[in-house]
Amino acid sequence: MKNFKTFVKEETKTIKVGEDCVGADNAHYGLIQDRKVIAVGTKEEMLSAAEQQGGRVWVTTKQVGDVVEAKGDGANVKAAKERIKRERNADAKKFDRILDRASIADAKVRAELSKPKS
């Protein structure tokens, strides 16, 4: 009988989601070896290629030959900052719309309450 660690290692197949594909429309599956994309294709194709050739399957926007994670001080910092900025702007706009609706509703309630009773 297999122990749990061996069972999990043999039976599970994980797919890493790259930072570059969060919110992207053109994301696809890629086989990654030594931080480089060596093949792209369907999920099933990449999982079987990973078993045969080794490597890891990622969801990414990169193409064959591109580096998915660079080492060093500036690795993916610019892309991460841009993504955070987009998310903050989207959240700020959403929050502003909520506040606008609340203030309009509040103004309507005040107007109704301030009307003289007949």
Of the three residues 36, 51, 69, the one that is the final residue of a domain is: 69
Residue 80 phi, psi (nearest 5): -65, -40
Same domain, 54 and 1: yes
Q: Are 59 and 12 in a shared domain?
A: yes
For residue 94, the model assigns a pLDDT of 83
Q: How many CB atoms lie within 10 A of CB 92?
A: 10
Both 34 and 44 in one domain: the answer is yes
Range of the domain at 94: 70-118
Q: Both 74 and 59 in a single domain?
A: no
Compute the average pLDDT of residues 61-73. 76
Contact 100, 77 (CB under 8 A): no
If asked whether residues 52 and 5 sit together in one domain, one would say yes
Which pLDDT tens digit goes with each residue over 74-114?
556 777 777 788 888 888 888 888 878 777 777 777 777 77
pLDDT for residue 7 is more than 60: yes
Q: Is residue 27 located within the same domain as residue 8?
A: yes
Is the whole-model pTM more than 0.85?
Answer: no
* pLDDT of the residue at 28: 86
